Chain A
Amino acid sequence: MSVAEARTAVRPRSSRIVPLLVFAITIALIVATPFLPNYYVRVVNSLLIYILLGIGLNIVIGYTGLLDLGFVAFYAVGAYTYALLASPQFDLHLPFLLILVIAACLGAITGILLGIPVLRLRGDYLAIVTLGFGEIIRIIINNLDWLTGGPQGIARLDKASILGLQIARPVDFFWLLLVVVVVAGVVAWRLEHSILGKAWAAIREDQDAARGVGINTTNAKLAAFATSATIGSIAGAIFGASQRFVSPESFTLQESVLIVLMIVVGGIGNILGIVAGAAILILLPEVLREFAEWRILFLGLLMIFLIIVRPAGIVPRSFGPEKLIRGLFGK
């Protein structure tokens, strides 16, 4: 068999094996998780929250090509929305679903608020301004004691419930998060392939040319910020409900950077990449927990290694969900 023949003989098979494998592992994990001890369920939940955050931020970074280093602000907006509307802080106890809607709206509004001033900025200037925005939000939360409890945070948040069904155990959150992640993933994926998504891609590739062909870059960018912030804020509200305590410590710059890293290490612009990136950056430190300091060192070195070996991410942009599904059915 010549090399060329061998290649064509192996190609179709390998392109099916990977999707099948990915699919099988995912299904196995989903089926197995509810039966695992609660600790593992919590770890998976944590993973799902970060995947959700990754899906949100990816819209701005991966689809539109704008480096946002202040994403954690939207996460904080969501978490504090839940904390303020479902806790003894102001003795408000609104239903969980209503708060999710409010958090989503507030997220979108803050997203647009951030979007407006940064429309003119590009590249690294955009990065530092978003970073500053994230820090401003965190400092304000830390200092508005009468509203947010300041550094003491807000404790004793209500247990969440949806239509009378209580969401309190880790396993309940697992199902909730799974549904939200799948919905957010599908929405993001559909958006990527919509007209809006094409406009984002155009801005990412060449902003001036995009404007030249008649794309309203202002609206497209604002839409990207708003959608991304909405997802981040929803993730925050769920985080608040599952942690039942919020404090400014959870919303530091490091958290923003972690999410960016997750996206880039995994594969920028690709939902599957985010899952891979989250798996490495969230699960690995958890598995290596007993090594305390050394695991962080290992993580740092691994990051350098991965970026050098695969600068475009573990999962390439071309290997998107559609390829996975197509591969699954052998087309």
Chain B
Amino acid sequence: MLGNLIQQTVNALTIGSIYALIALGYTMVYGVLRMINFAHGEMFMLGAYVAFLLLSMLVGDVGMAGAIALAMAFVIAIFLVGAVGVGIERVAYKPLRNSTRLAPMLSSLGVSLSLVTGIQILAGPQPVAFPSFFPVVRYEVMGGTITSMQIGILVAAFVLMFGLHFLVTRSRIGIIVRAVSESRPTAQLLGINVNGAISMVFFVGPLLGAAGGILYASYYGIMSPTMGAVIGLKAFTAAILGGIGSIPGAMLGAFILAFVEVGGTALLPVITHGVLGTEYRDVLTFAILILVLLVRPAGILGEAVSEESVVYKREF
């Protein structure tokens, strides 16, 4: 029982840290542009594909890649995807910055559709086996099984998240991004380079998303052109749950979501005596999301937007 508990906890932490990496991208973009970037899940997918391409260019047979090749592929891939993110913002969202709030969101849907289909055409629609980025060793801890892969993912995700935390709270770039996120017009009046800040966000967000994608693909051993859709939706849900626009909120939301999912899978059939099986897990997830939003309409750590606030006026 204890072993089971430990094992499920580690499972939830692993999935949660991947969700968190992606949720951060949603929340940062939302922070500065008040826009849901539906193409963000595709950055996650792109990360895996770019890393795979780099690996096959570096070593030919990707299954045989050594540690240096893997590390190089990982780093180059996430930076490349970050650059792609900046490019997409310039082409597809920037022209719409002063338009309605719905326009860039739908533009991002177009970007998402194009990227998925583009990869399907280039790399084929079927899933591809993805090499493991960590050697797989199994540890038995009090009856539970934990793999070195899970530990590696946790470490990598936390390093990235602390990196982001440092970037946002301690660096000059972070101050600029936070200023723009607080109020774009004011930041502009103060002479802050708003475009630079937005580009920065569209670099860091996809970079983290791509890292999440590589970790995810190497954890499960496959990648597919549509992998961003499902996971993107979950990460987006996590960002909303935590309070979109809030960076700690995105991380908290991601871990809560992961624990609800793992717990739901393990406990739903037990609690309901088999009436509701594992297949109802997503119902549980969304039900919890709805309940949380009813109590706290702006998410757990979101800024409480009062009825008088001007932020949300004029949606369309």
Contacts and interface: CB of A to CB of B under 8 A. Distances in A.
Q: Does a CB–CB distance below 8 Å link A and B in the complex?
A: yes
Interface of A: 61-62, 65-67, 117, 120-125, 127-129, 132-133, 135-136, 139-140, 142-143, 204-208, 253, 257, 260-261, 264-265, 268, 293-294, 296-297, 299-304, 307-308, 311-312
B100 A303 contact: no
A167 to B, nearest CB: 35
Interface stretch (B4-12, B72-80, B131-139, B306-314): B306-314
A29 B113 CA distance: 31
Nearest to A296: B117
Interface string B238-275: 00100010000000000000000000000000000000
Given A67-B315, A206-B313, A257 B109 contact: yes
B239 to A, nearest CB: 9
B17 interface: no
A116 to B, nearest CB: 10
29 contacts: A65-B315, A122-B312, A123-B101, A123-B312, A123-B315, A125-B244, A128-B237, A128-B240, A132-B286, A132-B289, A136-B283, A136-B286, A143-B277, A208-B307, A257-B109, A260-B106, A261-B109, A264-B102, A264-B103, A265-B106, A268-B102, A296-B113, A300-B115, A303-B106, A307-B103, A307-B107, A308-B95, A308-B107, A311-B96
B114 interface: yes
A304 B110 contact: yes
Contacts of A294: 121
B282 A135 contact: yes
A301 B110 contact: yes
A307 B38 CA distance: 15
Given A121-B297, A207-B313, A297 B106 contact: no
B67 to A, nearest CB: 37
A206 B236 CA distance: 27
Nearest to B285: A132
B113 A299 contact: yes
Contacts of A117: 290, 294
Given A132-B286, A268-B316, A304-B92, A120 B297 contact: yes
The 6 A-B pairs at the shortest CB distance, nearest first, are namely A303-B110, A300-B114, A300-B113, A132-B286, A311-B99, A304-B110
Contact of A297 (B114, B289, B312, B316): B114
Contact of B109 (A122, A128, A206, A303): A303
Nearest to A297: B117
Contact-residue bracket for chain B: 35 or more
B110 A300 contact: yes
A128 B232 CA distance: 13
A217 to B, nearest CB: 10
A117 B287 CA distance: 11
A304 B283 contact: no
B95 to A, nearest CB: 5
User: Main secondary structure on chain B at its contact with chain A?
Assistant: helix
A183 to B, nearest CB: 26
A148 B112 CA distance: 32
B69 interface: no
A53 to B, nearest CB: 17
B299 A308 contact: no
Interface string B27-63: 0001000001000000000000000000000000000
A139 B282 CA distance: 8
Given A123-B101, A143-B280, 8 more contacts: A67-B316, A124-B30, A128-B237, A135-B282, A293-B117, A293-B121, A304-B110, A312-B103
A125 B297 contact: yes
Contacts of A123: 101, 312, 315
Nearest to B244: A124
Given A122-B305, A308-B95, A128 B289 contact: yes
B204 interface: no
B107 A303 contact: yes
B81 interface: no
B290 A304 contact: no
Contact of A304 (B107, B289, B293): B107
Nearest to B94: A308
A299 B106 CA distance: 13
A108 to B, nearest CB: 21
Given A139-B283, A261-B106, A304 B111 contact: yes
